[in-house]
Amino acid sequence: MAEENEQQSSEVATEGKAASVKRPHRSQKVGAVVSDKMTKTVTVRVDRLVRHTKYRRYVRRTSKFMAHDELGATVGDKVRIVETRPMSARKRWRVIEIVQKAAK
């Protein structure tokens, strides 16, 4: 009987730990889909402005990310992607929202 109580109390303690553990902050980006030719994968182009060190002007820089797509985004859609576990050799992002559909 005492052993059962110990097991139950340890189970409750581990459940409490699991509930209180928070995930780390996951980076989010918004960009445009430039390719949807792969199965459940899209390529998202993300633009950002960077200040040029010498000329002090803002220069547009572009990055492309491969993202897992369960929502069915198409080329031209504006999507929000979030950092996630590695899903393949180059895929570490996931589409969480289609912000704006492409004009047809």
List, for residues 77-104, the tens digit of each pLDDT value.
999 999 999 999 999 999 999 999 998 7
- Residue 58 resides in a domain: yes
**Domain harbouring 73, CATH code:** 2.40.50.140
Q: Is the pTM of this model over 0.85?
A: no
Instruction: Please tell me the total count of domains within the chain.
Output: 1
- Residue 7 resides in a domain: no
- Residue 49 resides in a domain: yes
- Residue 17 resides in a domain: no
Tokens 């576990």 found at: 85
List, for residues 39-56, the tens digit of each pLDDT value.
999 999 999 999 999 999
CB hemisphere CA count around 104 (13 angstroms):
2
What pLDDT sits at residue 1? 54
What pLDDT sits at residue 12? 47
- Residue 95 resides in a domain: yes
Residues across the chain = 104
- Residue 63 resides in a domain: yes
List, for residues 10-38, the tens digit of each pLDDT value.
444 445 555 566 777 899 999 999 999 99
